[in-house]
Chains A and B, each alone.
Chain A
Amino acid sequence: MGMNQPSALEHILITTKVEKVMNWSRATSVWPVTFGLACCAIEMMAAGASRFDFDRFGAGIFRASPRQADLMIIAGTVTYKMAPIIKTLYDQMPEPKWVMAMGSCATAGGPFDSYHTIQGVDKVIPVDVYIPGCPPRPEAFIYGFLKLQDKIMTSSLADRYKDIFEEVG
Chain B
Amino acid sequence: MSEPNTPPVPEVPEAPAGPYVYDYKAAPFRQIAMPKTVPLPSRQTYLAEQKAAAEADEAKWQKMLADYEVAKTKAEAEGKDAPKAPVRPVPRKDDNDLKTPVPEEAKDADLLKLQTLLGDKVEEIFEQAGELVCQVKKEAILEALTLCREDAALKYEMLADQSATHYPAAKDFAFSVVYHLTSISRRKRLRLRILVPEGFVPESACPLYPSANWMEREIYDMLGIRFANHPDMTRILCPEDWEGYPLRKDYPTVGWGQRDISFREDRSGMLERIALQKAGQLGINLKQPKAD
Report yes or no: B253 in contact with A123, Cβ–Cβ below 8 A: no
Shortest CB distance A63–B (Å)? 23
Contact with A along B245-286 (1 / 0, CB 8 A): 010000111111011001110100011001000000000000
| Residues of B contacting A122 in the complex (Cβ-Cβ under 8 angstroms) | 264
The one of B254, B264, B271, B274 that contacts A114, using a Cβ cutoff of 8 Å: B254
Q: Is the interface of B mostly helix, strand, loop or mixed?
A: loop
Contact B262 A114 (CB under 8 A): no
Interface: B160 (CB within 8 A): no
CB within 8 Å of B: which A101-116 residues: 113-116
B68-93, CB under 8 A of A: which get 1 and which 0?
00000000000000000000000000
* Number of interchain pairs (Cβ within 8 Å): 47
0 or 1 for each of B176-199: is its CB under 8 Å from A? (1 = yes) = 000000000000000000000000
* Interface contact B258-A115, CB-CB below 8 Å: yes
What count of chain A residues pass the 8 Å CB interface test? 18
Q: How far is the CB of A114 from chain B (nearest CB, A)?
A: 5
B264 and A80 within 8 A (CB): no
Contact (A115, B253) CB under 8 Å given A81-B239, A123-B263:
yes
Contact A114 B255 (CB under 8 A): yes
Q: Considering the complex, which residues of chain B in the window 224-261 have a beta carbon less than 8 Å from any beta carbon of chain A? A: 237-239, 246, 251-256, 258-259
Interface stretch (choices A8-16, A20-28, A83-91, A153-161) = A83-91
Contact A81 B238, beta carbon cutoff 8 Å: yes
Interface size on B, residues (CB 8 A): 20
Q: Is B46 an interface residue (CB 8 A)?
A: no
- Residue in A84, A115, A123 whose CB lies within 8 Å of B262: A123
- Please, which residues of chain B bring their CB within 8 A of the CB of A87? 263-264, 266, 271
Partner of A113, one of B239, B251, B254, B274: B254
Residues in B neighbouring A83, C-beta threshold 8 A: 263
How far apart sit A147 and B274, CA to CA, in the bound complex (Å)? 36
Task: Verify if A134 is at the interface (C-beta below 8 Å from B).
Answer: no
- Residue contact B271 to A116, C-beta cutoff 8 Å: no
**Across the interface, do A80 and B239 meet the contact criterion of CB distance under 8 Å?**
yes
Task: Given A80-B239, A80-B259, A125-B264, decide whether A115 and B271 contact each other with a Cβ distance below 8 A.
Answer: no
Q: Which residue of B lies closest to A114 (CB)?
A: B253
Tell me, in angstroms, the Cα distance from A164 to B256 when the chains sit together: 33
15 residue pairs of the A-B complex, CB under 8 angstroms, read A80-B238, A80-B259, A84-B270, A84-B271, A87-B264, A87-B266, A88-B271, A113-B253, A115-B254, A116-B238, A116-B246, A117-B259, A118-B263, A123-B263, A126-B264
Identify 9 new A-B residue pairs, CB closer than 8 A, beyond the known A114-B254, A114-B255: A81-B237, A88-B271, A113-B253, A115-B253, A115-B255, A115-B256, A116-B238, A118-B259, A119-B259
**Which A residues are within 8 Å of any B CB, using their own CB?**
80-81, 83-84, 87-88, 113-119, 122-126
